[in-house]
Amino acid sequence: MIKEFKIYDEQDFPAYLPKLNSLFDDLFTGGKGFRAKLIRMMAENLNIPDKTELLLAQTIEFIHNASLLHDDLIDRSQLRRGKTSAWLKYTPEYAVLAGDYLLARVMVNLSSFGNIQLVQFTSQTISDLLEGEWLQDSIVGDFFVNMEQLDRIHNLKTASLFKWCLRAPFLALNKNDEGLHHLLEEMGTLLGQLFQRSDDLLDYDIRNDEGKTILGDLKSGYLNSFGAFVCQRKSRREIDQIVKSKDLNDFYQNLGGKKIFDEKVRDFDGINQELIQLYQHHLESLENRLEKSEKKLLPMLSPLTDILYWRKVGAR
């Protein structure tokens, strides 16, 4: 069982900026903190000192939340974690500044830690994240994108954080074996892809226990991975019809009925099951690259696909 911990202290942010503190309080409460938990799980099994563990968990949560601040503004999303988005509550300028501030804190904290590889890798992760955000914005309103194009974006935008969670703890321990890091990078890519695809399914009310808005992506002009999957091999006219669906029933009808929709979900699960198998396969290869004391990490990494794709809460 991974113990809970507070991701930041009040002294992390300047007391003379009460609005900034209030914005961060709103932002950090209510989140699942999945990435921080992942770091925690890695750290506990790799015997990473508590202080380093907190630094890593804080880093990933700061980056993730900075991206949410910017993301909500770009998408003009009105809600975040059931509350008014920061850009609406505090103005867009404050939301941008707060996001930038978090990213700056990441660099201050990491450079104080003094591991140049970790600083370099983290900077690359932030750069990938922004690149992905930029590319995603460029395809808003483009309903004819394919899954591979979306995968490229998700690899930059979503998977980069998962890759960071898997690799950063090893880097913090100065374990820089290239082969190990490439393997972890690949596993992070698969986790990110699976998480994103599962998240995209929520939009169509599949395994949507979180109560995510139905067809939210589509109505914002964004064809997500499941949308692109069902539109494969369809004519431009058919796609036009599908993306104009007013609600889920309309979507079923435009696709040819609920039965066809269910078949598409099964097929989509099928291709993602292959990614899960690939992840499990890489996990076996990882075993050869870990030291004896680190091998207890493997059973912890194994159920991640169930949590992230199949949304099996019990596996957490």
Partner 1 sequence: MSSFSSERTSDKISPMEIKSISRGAAEFQRYLLGHKEDDFRALPIRSLNVGTDQEMITYRIVKKNQIHRPPFYYLALLKPRVLLVALLPLFFLLKMFLHTHSPLPLSSTIGAALGVLFGVLAGSLKNDFTDYISGLDRLLPEELQRPIQKGWATPWKVLRISQVLLVLSLLCAIPVVLQFPNILFILALGGTMALWTQVRNQDDFKFSLRGEFAISFLFGPILSLGFWNALSGETYRAPVFAFGLMWGLFVHFLIHLQNFSNAMLASQFKLKNTMTRLGFDRSRWFLPSWFFLCLIVYMIFEIYFGSVFFAEVGAALFIPPLIYFSNLLRKLKSPLSSGYLRASQTGYTLLLLFEFYLFARSFF
Interface residue list for partner 1 (CB under 8 A): 134-135, 138-139, 142-146, 148-149, 152-153, 178-179, 182-183, 185-186, 205-209, 262, 265-266, 269-270, 273-274, 276-278, 281-282, 285, 306, 310-312
Token digits of residue 27:
């932002």
Q: How far is the CB of 92 from partner 1 (least distance, A)?
A: 22
Contacts of 46 (CB under 8 A, 6+ apart): 169, 170, 173, 294, 297
Classified as helix, coil or strand, 79 is strand
Could you give the residue ranges of the DSSP H alpha helices within the chain? 18-28, 34-45, 50-75, 86-90, 92-113, 116-138, 147-157, 159-172, 178-202, 216-219, 225-230, 236-243, 248-255, 258-289, 298-301, 304-308
Whole-number minimum distance, CB 148 to partner 1, in Å?
4
Q: Residues 186, 282: contact at Cβ < 8 Å?
A: yes
The C-alpha torsion from 106 through 130 and 65 to 115, rounded to 10°, is -20
Cβ atoms 126, 62 nearer than 8 A: no
What is the nearest approach in angstroms of partner 1 to the Cβ of residue 208? 4
- Of residues 51 and 237, the one with the C-beta less far from partner 1: 237
Give the shortest CB-204-to-partner 1 separation in angstroms.
Answer: 8
Q: Which is nearer to partner 1, 27 or 202 (CB)?
A: 202
Cβ proximity to partner 1, 115 vs 155, nearer residue: 155
Measured from the CB atom, the residue of 78 and 277 that comes closer to partner 1 is 277
Shortest distance (Å) from residue 310 CB to partner 1: 5
Residue whose CB is less far from partner 1, 105 or 157: 157
Nearer to partner 1, 91 or 249 (CB): 249
All residues at 6 or more sequence positions from 259 whose CB lies less than 8 Å from its CB, including other chains: none
Q: How far is the CB of 254 from partner 1 (least distance, A)?
A: 16
